[in-house]
Structure 1
Amino acid sequence: MPKYAKNQPVNFKNGVERVAIIGAGGTIGSHIAKALLKTGRHTVTALSRKGSGNTFPEGVLVASIDYDDETTIVAALKGQQFLIITMAPTAPRDTHSKLVQAASKAGVPYVMPNGYAGDIDNIKLGEDTLLGPIAKANRDEIERLGMQWITVCCGFWYDYSLAGGDARFGFDFDKRSLTIYDDGSTKSSTSTLAQVGRAVAKVLSLKEFPEDENDSSLTLSTFLNKAVYLKSFVVSQNDMFESVKRVTGTTDADWMITHENTKKRYEDGLAQVKVGNMAGFSKMLYARAFYPDDSNNLSAKTQNELLELPDESLDESTQAGIDLVKELQLRVERMAA
């Protein structure tokens, strides 16, 4: 049965006001937190390990938790309407489940699970990158515990991936080298960190339910147990390289360029992962998304217009990526994952 605002209890407010974020000081979490605060509609609470030295965007409230003491997580989530989970791939495997179970006990109705990239409907891509089955299990657990989820399918984060070294988009700005997958012409979906933040804030700023059966406006309930699809650019490595050259004022002659077979690169990365060398994970993940016959191209599904997301400048986003290089190099765990 469809839910309408008119049928809710007397004091019901038709919107999400209280949002908790895991990783609000991290790569994507900080952008989501800033975008939510910018709307003026939300109170944002960061759940943070006791003693953590993380810094958070101005205006974020902080609740200390102990992952080994569920009562602290439940207490921090009491009264929250939406839990957003953003975690590094190096986080302990059981962390997601601990958070979701605590959210259920705290009465949180909605969860955005950890996972911001590939198309959840592309089962083969998910299996090949090893991320699909984990993400599916996370979503299933949320449903099994009586909550509902909204996940984000945005392709790779453009600025972050450009800055992240050879294993991601192939660029090493310190060495001024580029590894091109195949001929570099396969296009894949990407989104800037800021665009992901805007999209999440837009969805969480919608009315929770239609007012009544005559209300056809977009609501949060439209997206429940579904993915939000968005993009900034659908680009090839060649497209990125042209932008990089424009931004840096360089030419082909200034770069050391090598080519590598995408499928071989994927297999090499997977072989590393299988023997416990997680340095191969990014190599495997990114190569797989540029398979010529099955790239991570979300063009047909993106909801940018529906969410009124702005068009962005590729060159400005490339500059933002280059500006991120030094910051990411200081975060060893990110570069190794």
Structure 2
Amino acid sequence: MSQSNYVKKVAIVGATGTVGSFIVEELLGLGKHEVTAVTRKDSSSADSLPAGVKAAKVDYDDESTLVDALQGQEVLIITMHTLAPPETTLKLVRAAAAANVSYILPNEWGQDSSDEALSNDVLLGGPKAATRKLVEDLGKSSWIGIITGFWYEYSLGFGKQTYGMEWKDRTWTFFDDGETKMNTTPETEGGPSLSGYKNKFVYVSSFLLSQKDMFAAVLRVTGTKESDWKIEYESTVERFQAAQKQVFAGDRSAFPQLLYSRTFYKDGCGNFEARRGISNDALGLPKEDLDEATKVAVDRNEKGLKYH
């Protein structure tokens, strides 16, 4: 592997979270990285870090602690809740520049952030764009945006707000005709150089599916028939507008519906594979098993599991 493709020291924010925990697991599994978890000084998350991960406790009100935590790091990976204060990420970016961190993987990990209409409608575009701009303006680091689509098992298992499935009462809600396809997510060691992705988005995807494709997978793995289910249809636009109204009124519980329903619009925004292409083969990513992932999703839905 070329030196430009191999980094040793990696710092990660959100190491025990929904996204970060999987990234840490993969990094440790490669056996080539020194992983440091950046955590708040008053957080107990450092106590649950896996063996081999160092903890760097910081105070976000004291930027010098962030700089100290990032000294000597080659990559900063940010995995924070989508509703975290944007200024927190900007503080990390400024600290990374001061510490001469070469690469920043900002808080992307989902929808296509290059689609401005989509990003702005789901209320995430402004903060993400500001983060990328600050990285470029400071000129010390480069950003790499990882676009994966939504996480299939979590999303299908979450309930009606996301992909439309409610396992316990055997109800499936199709948005419009249920045929709109979207990419839904993976990570493995590959051959390309990191330098080739400076200030660019990288698109990866596990599956390209419509809701009806998902429904067919659920029928296969559960042994149920379509007649066992109550099928409903709803307008995607109306779902989005209803959720938008709730969110603007202060009801954050409607945010998943806003986020997912907008991605099912028929403008193709969820199918980034068709518009941008994907880097699965270049990165050496493995083929994944849809039915195995669907079993996990059904189990999560049945148990009522949500995000962390």
**Same fold flag (TM > 0.5):** yes
Per the TM alignment, residue 45 of structure 1 is displaced from its structure 2 partner at its CA by 0.8
Correspondence for 2:293 = 317
Residue 322 of structure 1: how far off its partner (Å): 2.8
Segments of structure 2 that go 5 or more residues without pairing to the other structure are none
Following superposition of structure 1 onto structure 2, how do residues 75-94 of structure 1 map, counting pairs within 5 Å?
75-94=68-87
Shift of 1:75: 1.3
Q: 1:252 to 1:57 in 2, by over 3 A?
A: farther
SS class of match (1:156): coil
Match of 1:56 among 49, 53, 64: 49
Instruction: Indicate the SS of the match to 1:94.
Output: helix
User: Mean alpha-carbon deviation: is it higher for 152-161 or for 246-255?
Assistant: 246-255
Q: Determine the structure 1 residue equivalent to 2:223.
A: 249
Is 1:240 aligned to residue 214 of structure 2?
A: yes
Q: Which amino acid aligns with 1:92?
A: P
* Structure 1 range deviating more: 307-316 or 63-72: 63-72
1:104 and 1:326 map into 2 onto residues whose CA distance is 45
**Same amino acid, percent of matched pairs:** 44
Whether 2:135 is the aligned partner of 1:142: answer yes
TM-score normalised per structure 2: 0.91
Report the AA paired with residue 240 of structure 2: Y
Please, what TM-score do these two structures have when normalized by structure 1? 0.84
Residue pairs, 1:54-203, within 5 angstroms: 54=45, 55-146=48-139, 147-191=141-185, 195=186, 198=187, 202=189
Q: Output one character per residue of 1:150-202: Cα deviation in whole Å (capped at 9) or x when no partner.
A: 011111111111122211111223333222101111100000xxx1xx15xx3
- Residue 34 of structure 2, aligned match among 43, 59, 67: 43
Native 8 Å contact 1:181 1:290 kept in 2? yes
| Structure 2 equivalent of residue 212 of structure 1 | none
Q: Does the 8 Å contact 2:167/2:302 carry over to 1?
A: no
1:102 deviates by 1.5
Query: What letter is aligned with 1:36?
Result: L
Alignment of 1:254-269 (within 5 A): 254-269=228-243
The separation in 2 between residues aligned to 1:118 and 1:142, in whole angstroms, is: 20
Q: Give distance in 1, aligned partners of 2:107 and 2:225.
A: 39
CA positional deviation for 1:105:
1.7
Report how many residues are paired. Answer: 302
Judge conservation of contact 1:189–1:298 (CA < 8 Å) in 2: yes
Whether the 8 Å contact between 1:148 and 1:225 is mirrored in structure 2 is: yes
Unaligned segments of structure 1, at least 5 residues: 6-11, 207-217
- Looking at structure 1, the residues matched to 34 and 303 of structure 2 have their Cα atoms a distance apart, in angstroms, of 28
CA distance 1:228–1:327, change in 2 (3 Å): farther
CA deviation vs aligned residue, 1:79-120 (integer Å, no higher than 9, x gap): 101000000123223211111112122221210000112223
